[in-house]
Structure 1
């Protein structure tokens, strides 16, 4: 029996459902005639010849004709088929990437746009692309789970000479270029939804709920947004370094507590 998951995957690479079923069926039974392929694949006999012809024209199926005018078909070996699919996909991807980026470059947006990025995988992929495209610097404010997901990408940025700076929350031993934030009551609030900020070259910004929350993040190229959130991160760094260097840490802790109490009082008005 042909697995539906395999058929669905083959459809993602340009085969229609019947083509995928016919190729897999033929691969499983070996050289055979149209009747047997139809029987094993479940493709109606009225359609099987069209489907085989389509696969033959694409080079995925080979055939030989016997002396009594009967055609026998053989599937292209799996390794050859997969390489063909890889080449076609890679070529289509390269063409699509070039065309989409050309279109994007032509579109000049005068208004300020903030786009929503939804879901864990999309947020992580967006972050990785921002870091990959950065030429000069990355500035981050990030919690532990997302930090671990993106650590290899941060390290790659550093290795290629891109400056990385920022602050982490709940990370015991962050990489040396990132500061460790002192935890306080406001970080353990009722909502308990960690956040992140990632700025790339001070030109592109993604911020919002940490990826594991599986919620929303927001992307913008607005310079005001970028300035304010980078400034927020740098103020965080300054305060935390101040606390570490303060001769009498209790004074610093008391000052932070007073500020947090003021914030709490204001929010309850």
Structure 2
């Protein structure tokens, strides 16, 4: 099709499919945008849609108000300007979502739903999306514990809430370039990374919601998020405890290394302890 690369074409077809167009409908509309008014026969040749299918496809596009048939012989079809159609879609979807948001929420509340203590998330995309959402909701404080890889994905969201006065506290495992709030540099010796190849991530927003995730290069990435007050405060206490560990290590570096090893192996790994196989 004119003026569209193969990669761009696939992206356009995918986007149009999300708005309810079939593959043939999307190809026909894109072909018309590139060609201008065309007969069904011409469009079939240009788009690669079988001639036996093209008129049914055009009929559906006309019914969806994406294509206008012209009074001519043979009939030619003209694409509706994309800006006009997109604006119409935006208005329709906005009204529909507004209606659903109110009425579905009312229906849910009337159902007397029991509290869900925690919800699962699978995959990095959904985890990062939910993390950014919880960050954006913060009004007073954020507590975070994270590695460099996760900081890259959320730094923009964190900087925006920091800019409007939200306080930032936390720990960064290894060298993470965080220069806002009070974030302490924790030695990159986290036991989950050493033993399981997983990076731990914790976020607490305003003491109201929390998210705990494990990011792995080998297995599926998973997380839980919650509004349960007890769990939220538990996750917050974990981050505060990590901050205490950093402060203790900074104050007594030689003593800790001598007593527990450079990476605290003697206190964290049972085989190094001297009391019936349990850490001291």
> Quick check: TM above 0.5?
yes
Determine whether 1:205 maps to 2:205: no
The one of 46, 58, 66 equivalent to 1:40 is 46
**Residue aligned with 2:139, SS:** coil
Instruction: State the match for 1:10 in structure 2.
Output: 16
C-alpha change, 1:188 and 1:123, in structure 2 (3 Å) is: closer
Equivalent residues in 2 for 1:237-252, closer than 5 Å: 237-244=243-250, 246=251, 249-252=253-256
Instruction: State the match for 2:185 in structure 1.
Output: 180
Displacement of 1:45 in angstroms is 4.5
**Is contact 1:146-1:212 (8 Å) kept?**
no
Determine whether 1:117 maps to 2:144: no
C-alpha change, 1:264 and 1:93, in structure 2 (3 Å) is: same
Instruction: State the match for 1:265 in structure 2.
Output: 270
Give me the CA root mean square deviation: 3.3
TM-score normalised over the length of structure 1: 0.81
**Is contact 1:34-1:49 (8 Å) kept?**
yes
**Is contact 2:198-2:216 (8 Å) kept?**
no
Determine whether 1:195 maps to 2:200: yes
**Is contact 2:197-2:216 (8 Å) kept?**
no
**Is contact 1:120-1:212 (8 Å) kept?**
no
Instruction: State the match for 1:139 in structure 2.
Output: 143
Equivalent residues in 2 for 1:74-153, closer than 5 Å: 74-99=78-103, 101-102=105-106, 109-110=113-114, 113-153=117-157
CA–CA separation in structure 2 for the residues paired with 1:56 and 1:221: 47
Instruction: State the match for 2:57 in structure 1.
Output: 51
Q: Which has the higher contact order (CA 8 A, sep 6+)?
A: 1
**Is contact 1:157-1:164 (8 Å) kept?**
no
Q: Structure 2 stretches of 5 or more lacking a match?
A: none
Instruction: State the match for 2:174 in structure 1.
Output: 170
CA–CA separation in structure 1 for the residues paired with 2:30 and 2:190: 59
Displacement of 1:14 in angstroms is 1.9
Instruction: State the match for 2:76 in structure 1.
Output: 72
TM-score normalised over the length of structure 2: 0.78
CA–CA separation in structure 2 for the residues paired with 1:229 and 1:140: 10
Instruction: State the match for 2:226 in structure 1.
Output: 220
**Residue aligned with 1:210, SS:** strand
The one of 236, 239, 255 equivalent to 1:233 is 239
CA–CA separation in structure 2 for the residues paired with 1:77 and 1:250: 72
